[in-house]
Structure 1
């Protein structure tokens, strides 16, 4: 697929793959919109009990959101903010658990996706970080997502240090054989059944949030609008994406 988001559903389990090697597994407006569509497709498939989110690019999970589309480099896409908002809504509102498989770098919005998955399976070389502030960018949506699952202190450390942290037991199941761990999770969900798994997810969604989600999303939307303005005016850059 040209947007680099691949979706497969088999035996009640979905696989969503970010496969954008030429873009360093960054998510531009089209990829974000495609990820939102994939999540909504799974949401509407009542017989799907879980999704596995993984990368098709060696050594990187996801490098974050890219303001510019490939056909218009150096300029923030008009579709970036609405695509990011749609992705946030689909991700935060899902009623199925997501297992993230992280074998490499998860950065920026990619780190937020990984660390707000319901189960995180990581290899020893996995790492998570929010480098944006080092280039004058405030990671609005990453902060909003992370605060639904993690403490304010933890999110502050990621934001203000701008340095990645390695995979550790309080964030992920760390394994040299992540596929074996993922298979065990998927088989467990299959044995429980989609109805019960989704009921548990809905209850967790209702109880778990550390912040009021609509308020968090509005603050994030206001923040990203400001960041796109600063980017277009040359006051911030996205060199942290490594492109």
Structure 2
């Protein structure tokens, strides 16, 4: 299966400080890889660099074979990449419907022979409402009137309206109660078969193991381990050594 994302020797950081120190990473089409690691090892920095929100100092980032290292975020987005950022970042004064409508024109402009797999077609607000009925019930509510879980659903829906080939999920469980995390997991599981590959940055290991085909572990700005989720879960000693968990 061809890689949607291929990263080679990626280096990036902030204010002269190196955070990513030679990251190599690949993501096959339609696969979900959980990017794990302790706080501060560079996981969100990696996502920001891939999305074009942070300019790398060196290295290669290819999406569907196209070199995008150093490209602006809007160029990356038009190449089929979407992000669900940490902290949701929905437009608080706008309604659910208005938040989704803002995202829709871009998907129409870039509109997508790029879709693969069993997808019935491009994402629209109505398809988002079908996937997440709770948003349909809240469509006239402002962003600041939604619960944390509803805001996360809205952030996911907004990303889907870009009709992405690659979805970057940065801590989707952050700040959510366990019952709400289960709802988010059900939403993300509902995307199976859509042909969307995903990088999942996540501290909640239960969620990561539930969703991911493979696990990659980052330490000090490098990928130091990668294996199938089943293999990783079956080796408690290695998991403890890499993540400090049993």
Please report the TM-score for the alignment, with normalisation by the length of structure 1.
0.29
Structure having the larger proportion of residues in strand = 2
